Amino acid sequence: MDLVQKEHDRLQKRLKASQGIKNVQSTIDLLQHARDAIAQDPNQAAVTLAKLQNPVKSSFDLINDSLKETHSRFNKYTKSLDKLFKDRPLPSTEHDVLSEQEHLIDRAIAMHLLREGQFSVAATFLSEILDKKAMVQTSESTSRSTDQAAIVFDIDEVPSDEIRKQFGQMYYILHQLKEEKNLLPAIEWSRENREALEARGSNLEFELCRLQFVWLYHGEEHEHGNTPGDVKAAMQYARTEFQGFAPRYLREVQQLMGAMAFCPNLRDSPYASIFNNPSAWDDVAHFFTREFCSLLGLSADSPLYIAATAGAIALPTLLKLQTIMKAKRTEWTSENELPVEISLPPSYLFHSIFVCPVSKEQATDENPPMMMPCGHVIAEESLRRLSKGNRFKCPYCPNESHPKDARKVFL
């Protein structure tokens, strides 16, 4: 990369210093001069023109020399690029499964734009997709009308207006929360979805209300430094709102109330961390986003972003694999599984993974993990192979059991 930068610097400098245009101008001057001289004294024409031959020629040579030098700079930069990307061609595109599923990609992009809050781009994008579909449909309507119908149906399915509205709401709430420090829309949303949130074991509503309490306590943003906030308003809020939380969040509510006793000097109290948490707003905003997306069945971070990033991380390994396989002319043995392990950062692991310790294969629906009575887990196929239908010893402990006592587990 350094080399590329250096070569590019040189190229740019060279281009700046290039005398090409200046030389052209001097050629023009030469010609102009001769013309003027001839115009003045037509008798000198032959001599003037004869004298002109060499200077014009050499001025052209100058231009060419200058160009040649630039040309070699260009070549050097090309070489530095080649070097940077050497051994790293883009993967070959023998079977590009994705291009057959263009509409699914478009759908994913539209969803991505919506969830990133790029509503106007998303709107443009969707309308352009529809335009294209319409165009394709009219031009091919005669030949393959049934196929077309299916594709159009697919694209209309999602992202529907409903999803768009949902994300619109999400961004409104987030905006209020982050920019205006207004928690009320978020609280209202969490009330409306209380049941679903509770089923998830989410305490979003309480977190929001607690922050609201803290916010009331601090009063309008610390304008005058350490003014004691509006304790009264906070207490009033607690009285009306915390009733419902009492059974589940008794301890937390008690903490908040207890903190009130330290009112003027909360900073030095054991409760300081609750009241002076600088990242509280960001945390809550993040929490809210995650819950909101989860209720829609979506992951909190854009899947497209995660997948593309994971792809960039995985590519070097996959490319290496491709070269090796090409050299050895082998194919993958198991078609559904990548033949190499790709180490992604831990934050990219979303599922538990079960690899059978006997067969070293990943569990699938067809070959699920089975737990023997001793608590050890192996894949079903390994179980069958080890037991042959009879009592057998667990490969990991002295325990013996019958295969029919093994139970399927779900990770």
Partner 1 sequence: MAAELTSIKLNPESHLILDQPLLRLPHELARRNFKTVQRSVEREKEYVLPALKEAANASLSNTHTPDQTLAALDAMISRMQGLKRKMQSLQEEEKKIQTQSRKRIQHLETLHKIPSLADVKYDQWSRVRLDRLLVDHMLRSGYSDSAKQLAKDREIEDLVDLGVFTQCQRVVESLRRGETKEALQWCGENKAALKKSQHNLEFELRLQQYIEMVRTKDLSKKVEAISHARKYLSLNPESQKDEVNQVAGLLVFTQDSRAEKYKSLFSPDRWKYLSDLFVQTHHELLSLPSQPLLHIALSAGLSALKTPLCHSAYTSSSSNSQSTSTSVCPICSTELNELARRMPYAHHSKSYVESDAIVLPNGRVYGKSRLLEISKNVGSVETGKVKDPTTGEVFDEKEMKKVYIM
Contact set for partner 1, span 236-275 (CB under 8 A): 247-248
Which amino acid is residue 378, in one-letter code?
A: I
Q: Least distance to partner 1 from the beta carbon of 367, Å? A: 9
Q: Dihedrals φ, ψ of 340, to 5°? A: -125, 155
Quick check: 34 binds partner 1 (CB under 8 A)?
yes
Residues between 96 and 155 with contacts to partner 1, criterion CB under 8 A:
96-99, 101-102, 104-109, 111-113, 118, 120-121, 124-125, 128-129, 132, 139
> What is the SS3 assignment for 98?
helix
Q: Least distance to partner 1 from the beta carbon of 272, Å? A: 25
Among 58, 65, 72, 85, binds partner 1 (CB under 8 A): 85
Stretch that binds partner 1, among 8-16, 210-218, 223-231, 260-268 (CB under 8 A): 8-16
In the chain, what is the straight-line distance between the N-terminal and C-terminal CA atoms, in Å?
Answer: 45
Among 225, 264, 346, 398, binds partner 1 (CB under 8 A): 346
Could you tell me the two tokens for 199? 């089923």
The number of CA neighbours under 13 Å toward the Cβ of 378 is: 22
Closest alpha carbon to 314 in 338, 335, 281, 291: 338
Quick check: 10 binds partner 1 (CB under 8 A)?
no
Q: Least distance to partner 1 from the beta carbon of 73, Å? A: 10
Q: Least distance to partner 1 from the beta carbon of 199, Å? A: 7
Quick check: 282 binds partner 1 (CB under 8 A)?
no
How far out from the chain centre does Cα 146 lie?
Answer: 35
Count interface residues toward partner 1 (CB under 8 A): 145
Whether the CB-CB separation of 379 and 356 falls below 8 Å is answered with: yes
Quick check: 198 binds partner 1 (CB under 8 A)?
yes
Among 57, 79, 178, 391, binds partner 1 (CB under 8 A): 57
Closer to partner 1 at the Cβ: 98 or 261? 98
Closer to partner 1 at the Cβ: 6 or 232? 6
Q: Least distance to partner 1 from the beta carbon of 28, Å? A: 5
**Cα distances (Å, whole numbers) of residue 167 to 21, 41, 299, 313, 333:** 56, 83, 13, 29, 43
Closest alpha carbon to 210 in 254, 180, 169, 173: 254
| Dihedral angle computed from the Cα positions of residues 162, 164, 168 and 170, in that order, rounded to the nearest 10 degrees | 70
Q: List b or e across 58-86, with b for residues whose CB sees 16 or more CB atoms inside 10 angstroms.
A: ebeebbeebeeebeebeebbeebeeeeee
Quick check: 74 binds partner 1 (CB under 8 A)?
yes
Quick check: 1 binds partner 1 (CB under 8 A)?
yes
Report DSSP letters for 191-208, one per residue: HHTHHHHHHTT--HHHHH
Could you tell me the two tokens for 121? 């781009």
Quick check: 278 binds partner 1 (CB under 8 A)?
no
Quick check: 327 binds partner 1 (CB under 8 A)?
no
Quick check: 62 binds partner 1 (CB under 8 A)?
no
Stretch that binds partner 1, among 49-57, 176-184, 230-238, 271-279 (CB under 8 A): 49-57
Among 161, 268, 331, 365, binds partner 1 (CB under 8 A): 365
Q: How long, in residues, is the chain?
A: 411
Tell me the C-alpha distance between 23 and 2, whole Å: 34
Q: Least distance to partner 1 from the beta carbon of 306, Å? A: 4
Which amino acid is residue 258, in one-letter code?
A: G
Quick check: 385 binds partner 1 (CB under 8 A)?
no
Stretch that binds partner 1, among 230-238, 257-265, 268-276, 360-368 (CB under 8 A): 360-368
Quick check: 343 binds partner 1 (CB under 8 A)?
yes
Which amino acid is residue 117, in one-letter code?
A: G
Closer to partner 1 at the Cβ: 37 or 272? 37
